[in-house]
Structure 1
Amino acid sequence: MRILIVTHVVRKNDGQGRVNYEIVQAALAAGHTVTLLAAEAAAELVAHPRVRFARVATSRLPTRLVQYQMFALRCGAWVRAHRNEFDVVHVNGFIAWARSDVNAAHFVHDGWYRCGFYPFRLQHSFYHAYQVIYTWLNIACEKWAFRHTEVIVPVSQKVAAEVRALGAGAARMQVIHNGVDVDEFRPGACERARFGLPQVPFMLLFAGDLRMSRKNLDTVLHALVHTSADVHLAVAGILHNSPYPALVESLGLSARVHFTDMVMDMPALMRSVDAFVFPSRYEPMGLVLLEALSAGLPVITVRTAGGAEVIAPGSGVVLDDPNDAAALGAAIMRVASDTDYARSLGTRAREVAQNLSWQAMAERYLTVYEQVHARRAAQSLPPACASEPVKL
């Protein structure tokens, strides 16, 4: 097949970019040719003889709103000019003013806007007004994109429900969960000293953007107040402009909370802790949650986190309310105080992750591509001329 993938970046160290990276690798292994219409692509992909990289320049106009629209206009013009060169056109959400065959829905702005935890208000400030208008525009554009594609691939059942709420029929959807590198994220030797973490206490890990309230570190910190003093928390994320160090100090948790700042070797950090806590107020499908499962960590999360749906009974703890600090604290204490329970959760978590490898995910995408290609090939065949006389 001749495959076109339209996205912003295709590289390993980016969430959506990693998904597309693995799809490209699987497509090349299967003998297909791939064109990447993107702003950035990994050098090893660009160097491949069956990869064509059509670079889309990013706009220098002010605001992300205008920049994304310019990117979509440029991508749309390119796709329309080259459409006949491809068997399958794969886009990611709203990224191009052009029809597509496959649309991977990683994030639905309408779901974020209506989830109950959306933090911006139109009349609060200029910044808030800009964020609301930006979200409204994205909602309208995503509706258009989902109407103008053949197959929608939500990354979770949670996202699928949000896409359906925009009017897309379930018959056009095939959920494909994001993947994880089960070889890179695996149980192994503890390296706490490397990250400046104390050796003795039970160590939780929180990883995420420390500037975003939806990741919900505040509830984790309040939950820590409900736990014993030998439960500590490692926090991985960029500290610049984060309000959480001040909250830690105000809660009297300075001796028990350890900020590592940005960590490049997340697999090693996960091997150095005892459990992973992820009570995100809104998450379409968190890669970091899958990584924790693959690392064999007991995972404590909430239903508002999209990845929670992959947690089978006995492979993690899924709470109902992301803001219930007492319930979160109790769940943490049960894992921290019962070694056998924690070990069984981690073992089962690793088993769940084995079915969510990047290779398995990419092969599911290729199956969708093949289905789309087969339907198009069948539609292009001339109809059988039943009325023609039979020649004897």
Structure 2
Amino acid sequence: MKVLHIVRQYGPVGGMERYVWEVSRAQAELGMEVNVLCEEVHGNGHENINVFQLGKGLRKPRWLAALLFSRRVTRWIRKHPQKGTIIHSHETTAVHHITTFHGPPFARIRQYPWWKRVSLRVYANLWLEQRELCGDQVQKVVPNSALIAKELLAAYPSIKARLTDPVIPGVGKCIERPDRIIPPTGGVIGFIGKEWQRKGLDRAIAIVEKLRQSRPECELWVAGPAPDDVAHLFKTWDGGYRLLGLTDSREIMPQLDLLIHPARREPFGMVITEALAANVPAVVSRQCGAASEIGNKQGMVLDESENRSKWVEACNELLNRSEPPPPYQHSWREVALEYANLYRLINTENQDIRAYSS
């Protein structure tokens, strides 16, 4: 089985990028012939993966960067025909058999007032997305969570036949949190996310601030955003927090007693399943795709807009737990096998690149 992954940045530099990085490596370990077409590589390569780099491209505006990348991909495919190869894209390209959709559909903008939809940026993004999902050569559309699947079907009902069950991210090996007693007045709560506005850091701060009224020694650790960018949010605090900056979440996870993730919008949220795999329970918003992975005693799911007192109660209950949460397991090997099953349903014959729009 031969596959070509398409992604602009190949490496563990973001949620989508890490997904591609991990899946491709797991597929190579299974003995598949794996190739990657990208602009740049970040991280150490894999001896069984061939990577083809197009070179650094435009970064902004995003819609133009996506369009130009797509054109470069199409030109490369025309020069290097991929007979018998499954083309698996993670971008808005025009030459793929299967696409994995990692974020909310841009088509949600159709719900906005008309004056917010009149721009070249909107038209371009809608066209790119429509082509990615509805192109004649596209055989499978894979959402990365049940949340995204629901939104895709609502925005593009015509893709129902090619929309698959979600293939959620896996979790790599991690250091598990050692079982320890949490002081009734303390506990370490973690917030992890570089895009802190969307992931609800302000909300997390308000929740923990109220929780500290009954647990004065409780601490909030923030990883992801630069300390200087979020320090102003703690101007009323007198200690009780740490700003860790850009940090490997897997390294700090064993030191946490609880993860809080009150995101306003989160297509999946890999940090949530990483916490569960490290035996750290999580309190997350229903607006997170990974909320569906939280089982009994592994954490709690609340609506992002739920009263702050409800969030405090949930945090307090999990900090007062008497036993560790049940283990969570979902390896990248399992993810690779899920894709292998999908690939078997794809026909790579009669591929006519000339028919694809650039």
Q: Per the shorter chain, which TM-score range?
A: 0.7 to 0.9
Q: Structure 1 residues 326 and 111 mapped into 2: Cα distance closer, same or farther (>3 Å)?
A: farther
Q: Is the 8 A contact 2:3 2:87 kept in 1?
A: yes
Does 2:243 match 1:262? no
Q: Deviations over 1:86-135 (max 9, x none)?
A: 421100141x2x2311100011343775899xxxx978xxxxx99x8646
Q: Structure 1 residues 254 and 115 mapped into 2: Cα distance closer, same or farther (>3 Å)?
A: farther
Does 2:245 match 1:245? no
How many residues matched? 341
Q: 1:220 aligns with which of 204, 223, 227?
A: 204
Match of 1:159 in 2: 148
1:124-203 alignment, distance < 5 Å: 134=121, 137-148=124-135, 149-167=138-156, 168-174=158-164, 175-181=166-172, 183-188=173-178, 201-203=186-188
Q: Structure 1 residues 322 and 296 mapped into 2: Cα distance closer, same or farther (>3 Å)?
A: farther
1:1-392 alignment, distance < 5 Å: 1-41=1-41, 44-45=44-45, 48=47, 50-60=48-58, 63-94=61-92, 96=93, 98-110=94-106, 113=109, 134=121, 137-148=124-135, 149-167=138-156, 168-174=158-164, 175-181=166-172, 183-188=173-178, 201-209=186-194, 212-227=196-211, 228=214, 229-239=216-226, 242=229, 244-249=230-235, 252-264=236-248, 266-322=249-305, 324-336=307-319, 338-340=320-322, 343=323, 346-348=324-326, 350=327, 353-354=328-329, 356-372=330-346, 375-376=347-348
One-letter amino acid of the counterpart of residue 209, structure 1: K
Q: Which structure is higher in helix share?
A: 1
Q: Is the 8 A contact 2:10 2:41 kept in 1?
A: yes
Q: Is the 8 A contact 1:109 1:135 kept in 2?
A: no
**More divergent stretch after superposition (161-170 vs 302-311):** 161-170
Q: Structure 1 residue 358: deviation in Å? A: 1.3
One-letter amino acid of the counterpart of residue 331, structure 1: A
Q: Segments of 4+ in structure 1 off by > 6 A? A: none
Q: Is the 8 A contact 1:202 1:274 kept in 2?
A: yes
One-letter amino acid of the counterpart of residue 288, structure 2: A
For structure 1, the residue ranges without an aligned partner over 5 or more in a row are 124-128, 191-199, 381-392
TM-score by structure 2 length? 0.84
Match of 1:389 in 2: none
Q: Structure 1 residue 143: deviation in Å? A: 1.8
Computed over aligned residues only, the root mean square deviation of the Cα atoms, in angstroms, reads 3.1
- Cα distance in 2 for partners of 1:216, 1:62 equals 25
Structure 1 counterpart SS, 2:68: helix
**Identical-pair percentage:** 21
Q: Structure 1 residue 330: deviation in Å? A: 1.9
Q: Structure 1 residues 157 and 136 mapped into 2: Cα distance closer, same or farther (>3 Å)?
A: farther
- Which structure's CA Rg is the greater one? 1
Q: Structure 1 residues 144 and 239 mapped into 2: Cα distance closer, same or farther (>3 Å)?
A: same
Q: Structure 1 residue 312: deviation in Å? A: 1.9
One-letter amino acid of the counterpart of residue 364, structure 1: E
Q: Deviations over 1:25-75 (max 9, x none)?
A: 2332333322211012356536x2x53322112335863332222111101
Match of 2:356 in 1: none
For structure 2, the residue ranges without an aligned partner over 5 or more in a row are 352-358
Q: Structure 1 residues 75 and 241 mapped into 2: Cα distance closer, same or farther (>3 Å)?
A: farther
Structure 2 counterpart SS, 1:347: coil
Q: Structure 1 residue 163: deviation in Å? A: 1.3
- Cα distance in 2 for partners of 1:57, 1:122 equals 37
Q: Structure 1 residue 248: deviation in Å? A: 1.5
Q: Structure 1 residues 313 and 154 mapped into 2: Cα distance closer, same or farther (>3 Å)?
A: same
